[in-house]
Amino acid sequence: MYRARDRLEHSDWLDRLDEAGAELDLSESTRSTAGELFLTHVPDADRSKPAVAAASLYAAALITGEERSQPTVAEALDVSRLSIQSRWKEIMADAGFQPPSW
């Protein structure tokens, strides 16, 4: 869980997530879910935040049924596909969802 002040503290990242989601033509609901996932998993290290943001957006798209490919999401947030691949399952599982096994 995150605190209300985390939303203010990480507002730049939430804006980036929203912009990337809009670029990928994802619904507001999916973009909001991505923000919630990000805030719940935001790392302390700044260098890890882009990867967690991308993995959160990818996981949110899966959760809401608006699937996008890992390379597409990675490009929208300027990270490598491997950054998403190594984090998205944990984010989904922590949110209470069963990640697909493909």
* 62-88 mean pLDDT: 97
Q: Mean pLDDT across the stretch 78-82? A: 97
Give the residue-averaged pLDDT of 30-44. Answer: 95
Q: Is the pLDDT assigned to residue 90 strictly greater than 90?
A: yes
Q: Does pTM top 0.85 for this prediction?
A: yes
Within 10 angstroms of residue 7's Cβ, the number of other Cβ atoms is 13
Beta strands in 51-102 (DSSP E): none
CA gyration radius, the chain = 12
Tokens 């096994």 -> residue = 101
Let me know: does 30 contact 60? Beta carbons within 8 Å: yes
pLDDT score at 2: 79
Q: What is the rounded distance in angstroms from the CA atom of residue 41 to the CA atom of residue 26? A: 21
CATH topology of domain 4-94: Cyclin A; domain 1 (1.10.472)
For residue 87, name the pLDDT band (cuts at 50, 70, 90). Answer: very high
